[in-house]
Homo-oligomer: A and B are copies of this chain.
Amino acid sequence: MSEIICTVDVVLLTLQSGALNVALLRRDHPPFPGVLALPGGVIQPDADRDTHDAALRMLATKTGIESPYLEQLTTFSGSGRDPRGWSISVVYYALVPAEIIDCSAHPEVTMVHVEQARGLPFDHRRIIEAAVERVRSKSSYSSLPVYLCGESFTLPQLQRVYEAILGEPINKVSFRRKIEELDILESVEGAMETGKAHRPAQLYRLKKRFRRQLSLTDRALVASS
């Protein structure tokens, strides 16, 4: 009855060499076979309980990654997006530590600096821009960036992640006060960063209840963005 093409796409982001990178895959099938595009595909009503489920399936089957943080971004639609006809794409975004990508046994995943992800099919460029915009604005008043860090990390490392996303330096004392206020971290007792030619930093990890749950502040970390 409906001629609408229903798809789900996932914007999988990592932080590599100080910048947000997005996961792209070469398309197997038309349209645009062989072209780099966001992981995604047609919803399978028999296999997917809902679109969130579908996004998890796309991630698992196409990249082998299981992301702890996966959130719906928004839905893109219309007749101009897909040459096959009127389509809907429910878009999700995921944040994972860069290490996860290397460990996953899916070498066909290509990580590209978000600014350099150009010439993509469909409206994938616009989708990535919307996802980056969302991550930036959400990062300024939440714990979102911790999902880009690994199992454990130091406060200076976390600060560098925030600064990379927000694109500006943050005062060390203010940053630490803000993270304290979010109340999301617990120190890994006795564990310090080692091997550096300076005072070692304390290692922290996410408190259990924040593994999949954001924490918010009522004041932005930095004035802009």
Contacts and interface: CB of A to CB of B under 8 A. Distances in A.
A37 interface: no
B85 A88 contact: no
Number of copies: 2
A74 B77 contact: no
A194 to B, nearest CB: 38
Nearest to A87: B45
A219 B105 CA distance: 43
Given A2-B42, A50-B77, A75-B90, 11 more contacts: A2-B3, A2-B5, A2-B6, A2-B43, A45-B86, A49-B78, A77-B90, A88-B88, A218-B219, A218-B222, A219-B219
11 contacts: A2-B43, A4-B6, A4-B45, A51-B75, A72-B75, A77-B90, A88-B90, A218-B219, A218-B223, A218-B224, A219-B220
Interface of A: 2-6, 42-43, 45, 49-51, 72, 74-75, 77-79, 85-86, 88, 90, 140, 218-220, 222-224
